[in-house]
Amino acid sequence: MSQRLIGLLLDALWETLAMVGVSCFLAALVGIPLGVVLLVTQRGHIAESPLFNRVVGALVNATRSTPFIILMVAIIPLTRLIVGTSIGTWAAAVPLTLAAIPFVARLAEASLREVDPGLIEAAQAMGATPRQIVAKVLIPEALPGIVAGMTITVVSLIGYSAMAGAVGGGGLGDLGIRYGYQRFEGEVMAAVVVVLIVLVSLVQWAGDRLARQLNKRLTAKQAAAI
C-alpha cells in the first residue's frame, strides 16, 4: 500500500470518526431523554399524557421514515444556517444527527419498556417522584439495553456517513466515490471497504463487551439486593 493511499485513508478515517462521533454524542444527548419521554407519557405510566405522546411519537416516526439521502438534501438550508456550508465533514454531521435522534429515541424507549414494572411500583410505594424513578430505576435498569442500542446507532451512522460522502460529506464514502469510482482506482475502493468493515467490527465488539459488563453488574446488584 502506497504512502499516498495511507495518507488519504487516514484523513478520510478521521473525517468519518469526527462525523460519527459528534452525531452520536448529540443523538444520545437528545434521543435518550426523548425515549424516556415517549415511555413515561404513555397511558398508565408515571407521567401519562396521551395527546403529547401521540404528537411526539408522530414527529419521531415521520423523521425515521424519511430516507437519509432525502433528509440530507431537504435540510440544506438548516445545515447552512448552523455550520455556514452544506458540504464537508461538519455539514454532514447535521443531517446525521437529525437522522439518529429518532432512531436512538425508539431504541431507548424499547429498552426502558423492558424494565420490570414491579420495580416502578415499588419505587412509587416508597414515595419516589417521577424524576427519581427515571434517574434511579428506569435508566440504571435499562442501561445495558441502551448501550446495545447506541452500538447499533453508531454502526448505522458509519453507513450513513459513507452515503453522505456521495454528496460532498467527506470521509471514507467521499474517498471511495472520488478515487475508487470516478477515477477507477480499484485499490482505493477496496481499501475503503476493508477499513469500513474493520471499523464496524471494532465498534460492534466494543459495544457488545460494554453491554455484557453492565448487564453482569446489574445482575450482581440484583442478586445482592435479594
What pLDDT digit, counting tens, does each position of 113-168 carry? 999 888 898 998 998 898 999 999 999 999 999 999 999 999 999 988 888 776 66
- CA-closest candidate to residue 146, choices 97, 98, 113: 113
DSSP 46-73: TT--HHHHHHHHHHHHHHHTS-HHHHHH
Distance CA 68, CA 74 (A): 10
Q: Tell me the C-alpha distance between 23 and 117, whole Å.
A: 32
Residue 224 confidence (pLDDT)? 58
For residue 85, what are the contacts with CB-CB under 8 A and spacing of at least 6?
79, 91
Closest CA to 121 of 59, 44, 50: 44
Write the pLDDT tens digit of every residue in 63-88. Answer: 888 888 888 888 889 989 998 888 88
Mean pLDDT for 34-44 is 93
* The C-alpha cell that represents 69 in the structure block: 439521502
Using CA atoms, how far apart are residues 72 and 99, in angstroms rounded to an integer?
9
How high is the mean pLDDT of the chain?
88
What is the set of domains in the chain, with CATH numbers? 3-225 (1.10.3720.10)
pLDDT score recorded for residue 223: 53
Q: For the chain, give the percent of residues with pLDDT over 70.
A: 94
Q: Can you tell me the mean pLDDT for 193-202? A: 92
